[in-house]
Structure 1
Amino acid sequence: MRKGSIAASLFWLSAGWLVVALVATGFLLTDLYSRALDNSLADSLDFQVESLTAALLETGDPLSDEIRVTDPRFDRPRSGWYWMIRDADGTLYNLSTSVVGIDVPAMMGPPDARGRRTAIVDDAFGTRLRVVERTVTLAPRTYQIVVTGNLSEILELVEGFRGQTFIVLGAVGVMLAIMSAIVARFAMRPISRLSQAIESVREGESVAVTGTYPREIAPLAEEVNELLRSNVQIIERARNQVGNLAHGLKTPIAVLRNEAASKKGALADVVLAESEKMSSMVSTYLERARLAARTSVVGKKADSTMIMLRLTRVMRKIHPGVTIAFQRPDASLPWFRGDEADLEEMAGNLLDNACKWSKGQVGVRLSSERSDTGAMLLIRIDDNGPGLSEEDAQKVLRRGVRLDEKTPGSGLGLDIVKELVDVYGGSLALKRSALGGLLVELRLPTARLGGISKPAAA
């Protein structure tokens, strides 16, 4: 059961954290930039306040023309950069040329350690201002020196910086995401190599998992090889035990059969009949042990096209009165994953039965199809004979069942085919043929393409 990709999971997990980190970084950088600009504005306003305070104290006259600020921003009307000198009653004594149609309200609250008050207000034109106010006493009067800076400009700079920051971080994020995908791909390459090595074993190209792997997955490769070795030993042990048991029973059964055959009477007949049944069962299990031993060998594959071509030629000689039409597959037809003799036995039995029951016409087709378990080799054999009903189709797959005793044979052919199909994990279906007779569909596992020679003409 598959559940997504490790590489994809790593990529999306790292990409998710990357997005969160970059977004947080963008807001953090924007905040730091905003604080830096605001601090720079505050320092600039403090400097201007100190300059105006020094000029006022030096001249002693708040109306003096010598009290001025050299920064040209204080000369532009509605610039947001203003300075003024007023008394506690709000009477203006001196101001910058930029002060046109505005009034900075007096600030409330106690001053700081340096005698200043700060606030953020909006002027009459909607510009946000940072205000610094300092009180200076020149007996007998007390004056307020007010300086403002354009805070809206800083906010616009911060917004522009934020947009540029996220564009740059977005580009960095894309590059990091690409790097993350590449890293995930390279990190998963050993697992892909391990998967290919295991598939090579399954496809018959190797008998064990080979290659060098990182220490994180090297134990997995070793465990797979150990499992393969253990599986071979278990199958070999079971086959030997079944074979030994069956061979051990053959001699006593033969003795009973011979003794019963030499005697007369009901008891002898019963013993002879039962010994025949036991002999048949022993032969059956010996055959099953032989099939299990053959199909349990890892690393076999067969060219299905060449085998069917060979069987077609043989059946044409055995049944000269039957026309066998073999539909040649294309060169991409996959091979059968298993023993060549087993495929010959399965296909040969089915083709021979089709020739026996046909009325002179048999069709053979090879193709491949996809299923839930992977790619499957599909062999279709149909004839124009009498065919079978659904009930009869189920019966003929049972051991020894024959629908017509006049036709030569033991009745075990289809059952042997069914056993081999089950061992290989395939399927066998009997249907109605378009020719009017029986259609047999044999599905078997496929191996990788490799070394397929061009089939000769049938």
Structure 2
Amino acid sequence: MDINTLSLRARSVLIAVVALLLFTPAAIFTLDEAYKASLTQATLQQLKLNSLMLISEFEFDNEAPSMPVSVRDEQLNLTDSGVYGYIKWQGELVWRSSSSLSIPVPLLPSPPQTGSEQFSEQDGLFIYIFTAEFAHSEGFSPVHFYVVYDKSSFDQERESFLKALWQGLLLLDALLLLSLLLGIKFLLKPLNRLNREIAAASDGTKGLVSSDYPIEITPLSSSINQLITHEKQQRERYKNSLSDLAHSLKTPLTVAKGEAGSLPQLIQPLNEIESIIQRQLKRAATQKPGWHAPIPVKAIAQQLLSAMAKVHAEQNLTLINNIADGFTLPMESTDLMEVLGNVLDNACKAANTQVSIYSEDTSATRDVIIEDDGPGIKEQDKQTLLTRGKRLDTYQEGQGIGMAVVSDIMASYGGRLAIESSASGGASIRLSFNRLTTLTGQ
């Protein structure tokens, strides 16, 4: 897919999706880290309170450390509560909370200096240590208070937060994309209206496009109107000039033919000159025909087939019209009749039993195909006719009269003429009209 041809809507959505793909993980990472820091700080404060409670209940009794059977913090009394307390004195573990009796004693880090605290994470545990001094017979003695917190509940809370965060942000992303699509639709509304007006102007149902557009689009609409007006004026001047030229040549040519009455050898050259002049005038008249209302093809094709049935009645041909209903081409009706008439006439001359005409409509082209079941055209002749500049009316003796005009008219409408082979072995003439160059708006 070419990025240069990507629609404005697709570009906007692509930019938004890329931005969200970058923003959403970054936002989740940032918020997760902030939540983790906040949760860790809250855990630290709780462990400090647990430690202060242990310090308040600790004492020396008869020179030995003493703690009550049950402490005031129920978490330290309940088995497997996830909060465990330990007290070390003189390097020995002198007390452990009831909550820790069902688990082995973890590896407790070295304690800090007296009056200092230490907080660390180890093997899925938060460990808070505070060293306090107590009066003893030998003086003040440091006692180390450990409060251990199992991180499993911490991690579960964090995972729940992450899950809710992902769900919330994904929902927000979907709402943002929906809002963006609605915004793009509103933003492109003037361009869509301009496109419809151009299509209406191209099919002849509208003269000029409107001027009530946003200031960013107004110069474009003005330029389009100038182009349409200039094209119409230029085409009108061109036709007038051609008409003047035709009348200017008609009288001298008529006089020359009259004077050549006594010289029969000049009649044929003068007739050829007159034919050439008429052909070139018609060719010039059809150059860049501009904007035309599309005309239905099926009715014209049927009219021509009826005429061909009478002209070639002795051949008793089967003439088939498979042009789709509603199929149109943006051409002058006279040009379309001349193109189809010449090709159908040649097909009838070449056919053995049958001639068919049908349409093909794709996103890129609108094609008319005329096929016969005659002897066909040799492959080397096809290439010669299409690439070496020879006229198409030379492809087979007795056929193709007017095919040079067909080629010229097709070129003037931005169309192409291709010579192919039909399924029955005869000739297949494809008249292909590019949607983009004809601006049909269909």
| TM-score, structure 1 as length reference | 0.75
Amino acid at match of 1:339: E
Is the Cα contact below 8 Å between 1:119 and 1:130 reproduced in 2? yes
> What does residue range 215-294 of structure 1 map to in structure 2 within 5 Å?
215-244=215-244, 247-248=247-248, 257=256, 261=260, 281-292=276-287
Partner of 2:53: 51
**Cα gap change, 1:107/1:67 in structure 2, threshold over 3 Å: closer, same or farther?**
farther
Report the Cα offset of residue 133 of structure 1. 0.9
Gapped regions of structure 2 (runs ≥ 5): none
Q: Which amino acid in structure 2 is aligned with residue 366 of structure 1?
A: Y
Amino acid at match of 1:90: G
TM-align CA RMSD: 4.3
The aligned counterpart of 2:313 is 320
**1:98-130 CA distances to partner (integer Å, 9 max, x unpaired)?**
35452664635556xxx22213254xxx55132
Q: Which residue of structure 1 aligns with residue 140 of structure 2?
A: 141
Residue 31 of structure 1 pairs with residue 24 of structure 2 = no
- Cα distance in 1 for partners of 2:23, 2:181 equals 17
Q: Identify the residue that residue 375 of structure 1 maps to in structure 2.
A: 365
Q: Are residues 380 and 92 of structure 1, via their aligned partners in 2, closer, same or farther at CA, if it must alter by over 3 Å?
A: closer
Percent pairwise identity: 23
Q: 1:208 to 1:368 in 2, by over 3 A?
A: farther
Change (3 A) 1:62 1:242: farther
Deviations 1:269-304 (A, max 9, x none): 89x998777655543332223333xx6152322221
AA partner of residue 107 (structure 1):
S
* Alpha-carbon spacing, 1:51–1:381, altered in 2? closer, same or farther (3 Å): closer
Cα separation, 2, equivalents of 1:164 and 1:145: 40
Partner of 2:97: 96
1:341 deviates by: 1.6
The answer for the alignment partner of 2:125 in structure 1 is 128
- Is 1:310 matched with 2:303? yes
Matched, 1:414 2:403: yes
Match in the other structure for 1:352: 345
* Alpha carbons 2:420, 2:429 under 8 Å: kept: yes
Q: Secondary structure at the match of 1:364?
A: strand
Q: Does 1:69 align with 2:71?
A: yes
CA offsets, 1:412-455, max 9 Å, x none?
522222221221233334566677765544444679799xxxxx
C-alpha displacement of 1:150:
0.6
Amino acid at match of 1:138: A
Question: d(CA) in 2 for partners of 1:439 and 1:165?
Answer: 65
- Which deviates more, 308-317 or 7-16? 308-317
Amino acid at match of 1:376: R
Q: 2:333 aligns with which of 330, 340, 350?
A: 340
**Over residues 330-357 of structure 1, what are the superposed CA-to-partner deviations in whole Å (9 max), with x where a residue is unaligned?**
7545122211121112222333344456
Whole-Å separation in 2 of the counterparts to 1:324 and 1:303: 25
Q: What does residue 198 of structure 2 align with? A: 198
How far does residue 148 in structure 1 lie from its aligned partner after superposition? 0.7
Partner of residue 9, structure 2? 7
The separation in 1 between residues aligned to 2:95 and 2:311, in whole angstroms, is: 126
Whether the aligned pair in 2 keeps the contact of 1:207 and 1:298 (CA below 8 Å) is no
Instruction: State how far apart, in whole Å, the 1-side matches of 2:119 and 2:5 are.
Output: 60
The one-letter code matched in structure 1 to 2:332 is D
Equivalent residue, structure 1, for 2:415: 426
Normalized against structure 2, the TM-score is what? Answer: 0.77
Paired with 1:60 and 1:237, the residues of 2 have a C-alpha distance of 125
Which residue of structure 2 lines up, in the alignment, with residue 172 of structure 1?
172
1:202 deviates by 3.3
CA distance in 2, matches of 1:402, 1:20: 64
Aligned CA distance change for structure 1 residues 375 and 135 (closer, same or farther; 3 Å): same
Q: In structure 2, do the counterparts of structure 1 residues 80 and 116 end up closer, same or farther at CA, with 3 Å as the change threshold?
A: farther
In structure 1, the gaps of 5 or more residues are 451-458
Following superposition, the deviation at residue 380 of structure 1 comes to 1.0
Instruction: Sort the Cα spacing of 1:319 and 1:51 in 2 relative to 1 into closer, same or farther, 3 A.
Output: closer
Supply the AA of the counterpart residue of 2:105: I
Instruction: Verify the 8 A CA contact 1:194 1:209 in the aligned structure 2.
Output: yes
- Quickly say closer, same or farther: Cα 1:61–1:288, change in 2 above 3 A: same
Shift of the 56–277 alpha-carbon distance from structure 1 to 2, 3 Å rule, reads same
Q: 1:358 to 1:19 in 2, by over 3 A?
A: closer
8 Å contact 1:22–1:169 — kept in the other structure? yes
